[in-house]
Amino acid sequence: MTTDTTHKAAGTELAENHAETHGMSNAGYIRIAAILAAITALEVSTVYIDFGPFFLPALLIMMAVKFIMVVSYFMHLKFDNKIFSFMFYAGLILAVGVYAAFLATFKFFIQ
């Protein structure tokens, strides 16, 4: 009985530590999802509304914001150990660099 109570207390402590580590409540996740849905709606609106010269930059910025929000909050990278961020962003930055150079050799950016 005492051991059982100790285990339950340890479990509660572990869960609390997790909440502290991850720093988000379910309501927070729903708010993030609502923002992501709103940005997606705004992205789709660019197909039907003329944004002029802001079309491409606006789309790319919205894409980047959605990407960062999912990685930071849903994947908990913002609240986790920095080495996880390093492992992921190292791969991402390497990919962007390598493929930007690859596309540049085919004169993709000056078409």
Partner 1 sequence: MTDAAVHGHESSTGISNIKLGMWTFLGSECLLFGGLISTYMLYRGRVTGGPRPAQIFDIPFTSVSSFVLLMSSLTMVLAVSAAHKSEDKKTNLWLTVTALLGATFVGGQVYEFTAFYNEGLGFSTSLFGSSFYTLTGFHGVHVTVGIIMLMALVGIFKRSEVPGKKAEVVEMIGLYWHFVDIVWIIIFTLVYLIPV
**40 touches partner 1 (CB under 8 A):** yes
**91 touches partner 1 (CB under 8 A):** yes
**38 touches partner 1 (CB under 8 A):** no
Of residues 67, 81, 83, the one with CA closest to residue 32: 67
Output 3 or 108, the one with its CB closest to partner 1: 108
- Amino acid making up residue 78: K
Contact 88, 77 (CB under 8 A): yes
Question: Could you say which of 42, 43, 50, 54 contacts partner 1 (CB under 8 A)?
Answer: 43
Output 54 or 102, the one with its CB closest to partner 1: 102
Residue with tokens 């789309």: 59
